[in-house]
Amino acid sequence: MESIRRLIFLALIGISFITIVNAQDQQGFISIDCGMSRNESSYTDESTGLNFSSDADFISSGESGTIKTEDPGSGVKYIKPYKQLRYFPEGTRNCYNLTVMQGTHYLIRAVFLYANYDDLKQKPIFDLHLGPNFWATIDLQDIFGNIERIRLEEGTIEEIIHMPKSNTLDICLVKRGPTTPFISALELRPLRDDTYTTTTGSLKLIARSYFSNHDSFSNPESIIRYPDDVHDRLWDVYFYNEEWTEINTTTPVNTTANAFDLPQAIISKASIPKGAGKSWNNFWFMQNTDDVHLYLHFAEIQALKPSDSREFSILWNENTKISDDYSPLEFMADTVPIRTSTKCDVTCSLDLTRTKSSTLPPSCNAIEVFGVLQLLQSETDKNDVTALKNIQATYRLQKTSWQGDPCVPIQYMWTGLNCSNMFPSIPPRITSLDFSNFGLNGTISSDIQYLNQLQKLDLSNNNLTGKVPEFLAKLKLLTVINLSGNNLSGSIPQSLRNMDKNGLITLLIKGNENLCLDPSCDGNNKKKLLVPILASAASVGIITAVLLVIILLLRKKKPSKASRSSMVANKRSFTYEEVAVITNNFERTLGEGGFGVVYHGNLNGNEQVAVKVLSESSAQGYKQFKAEVDLLLRVHHINLVTLVGYCDEGQHLVLIYEYMSNGNLKQHLSEECASSPLSWENRLRIAAETAQGLEYLHIGCKPPMIHRDIKSMNILLDNHFQAKLGDFGLSRSFPVGSETHVSTNVAGSPGYLDPEYYRTNWLTEKSDVFSFGVVLLEIITSQPVIDQTREKSHIREWVGFKLTNGDIKNIVDPSLNEDYDTSSLWKALELAMSCVSPSSSGRPNMSQVANELQECLLSENSRKGGRHDVDSKSSFEPSISFGPEHIPDAR
């Protein structure tokens, strides 16, 4: 499996030269000198040539400070941008708000140089967040923890390679304990899409070193960065004097074919072990990560005689071979990317061991080590955030907690809000505004209408003037509106009055002297009809309450109007006779499933439905029927097919679903729809939506559910091609508590069935992940799942076979016409292959899958947005540094 992963990875690096960041010119760089005054203009730092500017436009809180120590000691130079800093005595979470390019990989570096700026001689400890996700703990008291990174005696540097999912990126400092968070500089560098990639998560830097005996690490000058490194990576020198010898060259090393753009100063030097037979060894402290990505940079920089050869094995933790035997290319930069998830005991080590046939010892020029950090929490829905920020601007609201993401993490939710936040992979929505006593003046902001998931709006006790807006009636989920204690005037819109009268909303308007309930007082009529019902006299209040109760009771008798708050109101049981009417005597067949025939139907003459009639012969019929009804009555998700009703009458078992007019995914991937194939974007979206539905079953339901029959035929498409998962007949609740697994009769569809489950009868949610992986392979290839006439009959083996033969282009469905973002395609392929790992422990969970597909979709969309259009097809040039000699065999 590991080798297949590497293979895809190689393909990714070798084939897709998508965005080539313009060398030398700082294009896209964001260089922020934190704490620099707003009135100073940006400047060019002398020693690096980097342009820095003030942070004042990106943050609304904090104060400026200046470091005390002028002596840099060892490590990074105290360049001008690092001498000033911003510290945050107020608030728990303070955030920078940066504008970035959505869907671009960035190297994000935060510099913290304490140097006793506050004269307290107490090094701070605090957390760093990236948007709503934890990034790192900055612990300047932990000398040991900082050793592995760039050595900085009076501070530390934190770096991550991350792809923002929107155009803004929040970087937050979060207080934890008595010390004050601070920051010296923020540096963002866009990277090529094809170099530092992950299946899931972002890459947190553990070490980045080159090896030289003659660049002393106590000398700040030995740190290599911009302009030598066009991407401004910070390369620290390292040397193990007792064991290593340096070799170097003045002959230029050809780096053009290598995507990593390595500086000559790094690639022209290498370390080799002292002593002919010895291996080359290095190790790192891993900081709680098991998933490690390594980038080993090599070049043969000695002119070899014909009789010489240099070849070595690459070993992890002394004995695990993690890559094929390797020979550096002569005067040519080459990178071996390695991903491993072996657990290390405190430290992870790398050994390069000379092979038997090699005459020369191993050599290594430079290494980068990253831990994979999962950033699973989605940011709050973009439209909600925009609306909220407009409301904030309208009322000039300044609250200490109003920084960073409004909803998540929950403990830092902005005051006055409440949000829905069910799953990390689904963007939270704002469900409540409680701005009581916020000192608001002016009219009610029209931006409130864009918060369309709002359930409660409390604007009481402010100084709001003007009319009660009509749009409040259009917010479908809004049930409580509290406008008491303002200076609102005019009449209340008819629609709101009706809804209040019908008990659909609670409208509170007490204490608005100029407001009237009667439409006649609108306009020139000055005769005020003070809201009589809500007058303050207690007796009137009681009478009103009684009246209201009576009105409500009367309303309840009328069955016609469904309550807005009750989402299950439509679920109904039907008689078989009614079913016959709905289907017009079972006139039109839509399809035939495992348990019966599905008919087209019409409910109330206007709602199309699909009616599944279970066949009487179906032995397990009743159990499955009950399972499906029970399940569907308690789960609701936009990506699960909705049950409209059912019939359970003697031997007649019928399920009535919403009608999915575009059939199922399988049809769209087969010959049937060959004339109008689904675009890559649509395929990704369908996959992402299905993944969300499945994620909901796995972690959103209580108890959680396993679908057990995920296949392309069960992924249905509505008239907008939105994907919904159907057919829950085999679903099972999965174990909670002491029971560790469910042993069941193995069930599922051929080709999609998890081999591990088949072998062991051991059912877990990872079996669904396997089946989903098969669907993903279908989506990418449009191949049948099982085809006996193919080289390999099962789709998973076929793809694996193609990969090992380097026949990568022929994996992808030709009807896509190469109209796709290559990196999103390889990423999806790699994700699919990890989902179909033979062993369930090697498979991701559905949250990771959903998240990953969302990212693929983003990079595909950003391509469609035009960013990559210029060179996406033209520069399709395979890298010679990844010739077939490096492609490992599948194990």
Q: Which is nearer to ligand NAG, 484 or 782 (CB)?
A: 484
- Region of 757 on the Ramachandran plot (φ > 0 left; ψ -120 to 50 alpha; else beta): alpha
Q: Which is nearer to ligand NAG, 428 or 784 (CB)?
A: 428
Q: Which is nearer to ligand NAG, 383 or 418 (CB)?
A: 418
Q: Which is nearer to ligand NAG, 795 or 887 (CB)?
A: 887
Q: Which is nearer to ligand NAG, 496 or 643 (CB)?
A: 496
Q: Which is nearer to ligand NAG, 139 or 232 (CB)?
A: 232
Q: What is the dihedral of CA 621, 625, 628, 632, to 10 degrees?
A: 160
Instruction: Check residue 335 for interaction with ligand NAG (CB under 6 A).
Output: no
Q: How far is the CB of 456 from ligand NAG (least distance, A)?
A: 8
Instruction: Check residue 216 for interaction with ligand NAG (CB under 6 A).
Output: no
Q: Which is nearer to ligand NAG, 168 or 667 (CB)?
A: 168
Question: Residue 887 is encoded by which pair of tokens?
Answer: 């492609």
How many residues belong to the site for ligand NAG (CB under 6 A)? 34
**What's the CA gap between 467 and 489, in Å, rounded?**
5
Residues at the binding site are 612
Q: Which helix (H) or strand (E) holds 366?
A: strand 366-373
**What's the CA gap between 582 and 656, in Å, rounded?**
10
Which stretch, 121-129, 454-462, 525-533, 644-652, contacts ligand NAG (CB under 6 A)? 454-462
Among 458, 658, 765, 860, binds ligand NAG (CB under 6 A): 458
Q: Site mask, ligand NAG, residues 141-170, x = CB under 6 A?
A: ---------------------------x--
Among 20, 22, 23, 37, binds ligand NAG (CB under 6 A): 37
Q: How far is the CB of 113 from ligand NAG (least distance, A)?
A: 21
Which stretch, 446-454, 456-464, 705-713, 731-739, contacts ligand NAG (CB under 6 A)? 456-464
**What's the CA gap between 661 and 683, in Å, rounded?**
17
Among 254, 309, 489, 642, binds ligand NAG (CB under 6 A): 254
Whether 770 contacts 849, CB under 8 Å: no
Does residue 227 have a cis bond before it (omega within 30 degrees)?
yes
Instruction: Check residue 418 for interaction with ligand NAG (CB under 6 A).
Output: yes
Instruction: Check residue 275 for interaction with ligand NAG (CB under 6 A).
Output: no
Residues at the binding site for ATP are 612
Q: What is the dihedral of CA 336, 825, 201, 872, to 10 degrees?
A: 80
Among 39, 241, 411, 810, binds ligand NAG (CB under 6 A): 39
Q: How far is the CB of 132 from ligand NAG (least distance, A)?
A: 14
Q: How far is the CB of 589 from ligand NAG (least distance, A)?
A: 44
Distance from chain centroid for Cα 423: 12
Under rule CB under 6 A, which residues in 821-880 are in contact with ligand NAG? Answer: 880
Instruction: Check residue 658 for interaction with ligand NAG (CB under 6 A).
Output: no
As separate numbers, helices (DSSP H) first and strands (DSSP E) second, the chain gives 15, 45
Beta strands in 180-311 (DSSP E): 182-183, 185-190, 202-211, 236-238, 244-248, 269-273, 280-285, 292-298
**What's the CA gap between 141 and 155, in Å, rounded?**
9
Question: Residue 63 is encoded by which pair of tokens?
Answer: 């104060």
Among 460, 639, 714, 862, binds ligand NAG (CB under 6 A): 460
Q: Site mask, ligand NAG, residues 95-134, x = CB under 6 A?
A: --x-x-----------------------------------
Instruction: Check residue 390 for interaction with ligand NAG (CB under 6 A).
Output: no
Question: Residue 368 is encoded by which pair of tokens?
Answer: 């980068």
Enumerate long-range contacts of 571-575, CB under 8 Å, 24 or more apart. Answer: 571/633, 571/643, 571/644, 571/645, 572/644, 572/645, 573/645, 573/646, 573/647, 573/648, 574/645, 574/646, 574/647, 574/654, 574/656, 575/647, 575/649
Which stretch, 460-468, 647-655, 685-693, 809-817, contacts ligand NAG (CB under 6 A)? 460-468
Residues in the chain, overall count: 891
Which stretch, 38-46, 133-141, 271-279, 647-655, contacts ligand NAG (CB under 6 A)? 38-46
Under rule CB under 6 A, which residues in 468-527 are in contact with ligand NAG? Answer: 480, 482, 484-485, 508
Q: Which is nearer to ligand NAG, 484 or 771 (CB)?
A: 484
- The residue from 351, 381, 709, 768 that is catalytic is 709
Q: Helices marked H in 253-371 — which ranges?
A: 264-267
Instruction: Check residue 209 for interaction with ligand NAG (CB under 6 A).
Output: no
Q: How far is the CB of 720 from ligand NAG (least distance, A)?
A: 29
Q: Which is nearer to ligand NAG, 796 or 886 (CB)?
A: 886
Under rule CB under 6 A, which residues in 703-732 are in contact with ligand NAG? Answer: none
Strand pairing category for 514-516 and 732-733: unpaired
Q: Which is nearer to ligand NAG, 269 or 863 (CB)?
A: 269
Q: How far is the CB of 453 from ligand NAG (least distance, A)?
A: 12
Spell out the residues 6+ positions from residue 537 whose beta carbon is closer than 8 angstroms to its own. Answer: none
Instruction: Check residue 399 for interaction with ligand NAG (CB under 6 A).
Output: no
**What's the CA gap between 647 and 611, in Å, rounded?**
10
Q: Which residue has the tokens 């399709």?
A: 876
- Region of 815 on the Ramachandran plot (φ > 0 left; ψ -120 to 50 alpha; else beta): alpha
DSSP bridge pairs for 175: 126
Whether 171 contacts 112, CB under 8 Å: no
Q: Which is nearer to ligand NAG, 25 or 630 (CB)?
A: 25
Instruction: Check residue 200 for interaction with ligand NAG (CB under 6 A).
Output: no
Among 19, 180, 200, 212, binds ligand NAG (CB under 6 A): 212
Strand pairing category for 643-649 and 715-717: unpaired
Q: Tell me the three-class secondary structure of 572-636, residue by residue.
A: EECCHHHHHHHCCCCCCEEEEECCEEEEEEEECCCEEEEEEEECCCCCCHHHHHHHHHHHHHHCC
Q: How far is the CB of 128 from ligand NAG (least distance, A)?
A: 18
**What's the CA gap between 185 and 83, in Å, rounded?**
9
**What's the CA gap between 748 and 765, in Å, rounded?**
13
Among 340, 461, 714, 847, binds ligand NAG (CB under 6 A): 461
Among 3, 26, 733, 845, binds ligand NAG (CB under 6 A): 26
Q: How far is the CB of 254 from ligand NAG (least distance, A)?
A: 4
Q: How many CA atoms lie within 13 A of 635 on its CB side?
A: 33
Q: Which is nearer to ligand NAG, 214 or 501 (CB)?
A: 214
Q: How far is the CB of 841 from ligand NAG (least distance, A)?
A: 35
Q: How far is the CB of 458 from ligand NAG (least distance, A)?
A: 6
Question: Residue 747 is encoded by which pair of tokens?
Answer: 């069930």
**Residue among 815, 830, 820 at smallest CA distance from 873:** 820
Q: How far is the CB of 51 from ligand NAG (least distance, A)?
A: 4
Q: How far is the CB of 256 from ligand NAG (least distance, A)?
A: 5
Residue 709 is a catalytic residue:
yes
Among 66, 116, 441, 608, binds ligand NAG (CB under 6 A): 441
Instruction: Check residue 439 for interaction with ligand NAG (CB under 6 A).
Output: yes
Question: Residue 83 is encoded by which pair of tokens?
Answer: 């001498």
Which stretch, 39-47, 101-109, 513-521, 733-741, contacts ligand NAG (CB under 6 A)? 39-47
The contact set with ligand NAG (CB under 6 A) reads 25-26, 37, 39, 43-44, 51, 97, 99, 168, 212, 214, 246, 248, 254, 256-257, 389, 418, 436, 439, 441-442, 458, 460-463, 480, 482, 484-485, 508, 880
Q: Which residues are catalytic?
A: 709
